[in-house]
Amino acid sequence: MEIQDQVDLCFPHLLNTSCRKPTLHWSEAVLLNILLSSISVITVVLNLLVIISVSHFRQLHTPTNILLLSLAVSDFLVGLLLMPVEIFRKTACWVFGDALCSLYGFLTCNIVSASIGNILLISIDRYVAICYPLHYPTRVTVTKVKIGVCLCWVCSSFYSSFYVKDVLTEPNKTKSCYGECMLVVDYITGSVDVVLSFIVPITVIIILYLRVFVVAVSQARAMRFHVTAVKVQVSLTVTRKKSELKAARTLGVLVVVYLICYCPYYCYAVFEDNVLNTTYASFLILMFYFNSCLNPVIYALFYPWFRGAVKLIVTLQILKPGSCGASIM
């Protein structure tokens, strides 16, 4: 029995302080790894396409697309770094030491916070563009957006340092055994995180998008009542109305997907102190990360320019001289 217990330990020579190895059957572990790894690869590929598209083509260097680029970078890092490490944490013993575990905790908070900040900035950008179209070119410029993106990442880094300060300074404080990598925060810190990372951003996003929806519908109705008998004008009016309603529906999809991916995790975090310590919590975290796979679909695949850019990327047309000046809008 003692030999069997030692075999099941991550570090058999540390009988009293070693964690037990994950108990998943090998077939279940393989299936889980294949599924989650596939999601991770898809997340990386989709966001990488967005990054290449916006970075390469000069025509796409607009304020909105710069925000999309920043969001794609944060989501790319989720798929490249956070998802694989989360898969490893739950299917194998942690053998990389306390320093890398602390770094993982910091990167997790930093990247996720930046992603949330980018979504908030995009919602503000769309609000100004639709509700104040005449003032948009002066209020939202490329320079201002770049400054906003930089501040978003800097603030995320400072916030992450505060959130994981205990893990960074005393990595062994919350460790129950050797062979695990856990991010455990106290109730006050967790409550502050719920407010700053979820309640405040989602409240602002919902308010802005409700305002956008109301304005889009009212503009469509106003144009319908001012239609003249000229067929061209009628056609333009109908096209504008459909475009605005489509934009409103797209924003609604964004909010719903955001809530579906984020609400379960934060609701669970409110009632549990050690939110990373259970299998159910791990599922919620992966669902939390899955939003990074959906973001490029919601934000980019709805844009015609993205399909044109992907075609040029896949066919290697971007390697030709002068391809950065190609017209894809």
49 pLDDT band (50/70/90 cuts)?
very high
Residues in a beta bridge with 18: 178
263 close to 206: Cβ distance less than 8 angstroms:
no
Q: For tokens 């061209």, what's the residue?
A: 232
Is there a contact between 213 and 206 (Cβ–Cβ < 8 Å)? no
Predicted confidence (pLDDT) at residue 156 exceeds the cutoff of 90: yes
Angstrom distance (rounded) from CA 216 to CA 158: 37
Inside any domain, residue 16? yes
What is the secondary structure of 143-204 as a DSSP string?
HHHHHHHHHHHHHHHHHHHHHTHHHHH-TTSS--SBT-------HHHHHHHHIIIIIHHHHH
Would you place residue 324 in the very low, low, confident or very high pLDDT band (cuts 50, 70, 90)?
confident
Question: What is the structure's pLDDT at 143?
Answer: 93
Domain count, the chain: 1
Give the pLDDT confidence score for residue 5 in this predicted structure: 45
Comparing 303 with 323, the larger pLDDT belongs to: 323
Task: List beta partners, residue 178.
Answer: 18
Q: Provide the pLDDT for residue 172.
A: 66
**Per-residue 3-state assignment (H helix, E strand, C coil) for 279-298:** HHHHHHHHHHHHHHHHHHHH
Average pLDDT over residues 257-284: 69
Task: Name the nearest CA neighbour of 186 among 272, 107, 104, 103.
Answer: 272
Compute the average pLDDT of residues 134-154. Answer: 92
d(CA 106, CA 125): 28
Question: Containing domain of residue 9, as a range?
Answer: 2-321
Name which of 308, 289, 287, 317 is nearest 116 in CA terms. 289
**CA 303 – CA 318 distance, rounded (Å):** 19
H-state helical runs in 195-230: 200-225
Q: What's the alpha-carbon Rg for the chain, to the nearest Å?
A: 23
CA-to-CA dists, residue 49 to 38, 39, 128, 139, 294, angstroms: 17, 16, 27, 29, 14
Tell me the sheet residues that pair with 9. 20
* pLDDT tens-digit readout, 85-128: 888 887 888 888 888 888 888 898 899 899 889 888 988 988 88
What is the C-alpha separation between 306 and 53, in angstroms, rounded? 7
User: What type of residue sits at position 233?
Assistant: Q
- Is the model more confident about 306 or about 238? 306
- For the domain that residue 56 is a member of, what is the CATH number? 1.20.1070.10
> Mean pLDDT across the stretch 175-191?
77
Whether residue 186 lies inside any domain: the answer is yes
The residue count of the chain comes to: 329
Whether 326 is covered by a domain: the verdict is no
**Is 73 among the domain residues?**
yes
Of 92-101, 167-176, 181-190, which range is least confident?
A: 167-176
Exposed/middle/buried for 276, CB within 10 Å: 0-12, 13-18, 19+? buried
Q: How confident is the model at residue 271 (pLDDT cuts 50, 70, 90)?
A: low
pTM (2 d.p.): 0.84
Strand partners, 198: none
Asked whether residue 26 is assigned to any structural domain, the reply reads yes
Bigger pLDDT: 137 vs 130? 137
Least confident of 94-103, 200-209, 255-264: 255-264
* 189 vs 122 pLDDT, higher one: 122
Residue 151 inside a domain? The answer is: yes
Cα–Cα distances in angstroms (integers) from residue 110 to residues 10, 32, 78, 153, 281, in the given order: 29, 26, 10, 8, 19
Is the pLDDT score of 274 beyond 60? no
Residue 20 lies in a domain: yes
- Read off the pLDDT of residues 218-256 as tens digits, 9 standing for 90 and up: 766 666 665 544 444 445 445 555 555 555 566 667 777
DSSP secondary structure code for residue 323 in this structure: G
Average pLDDT on 157-165 reads 85
Residue 217 lies in a domain: yes
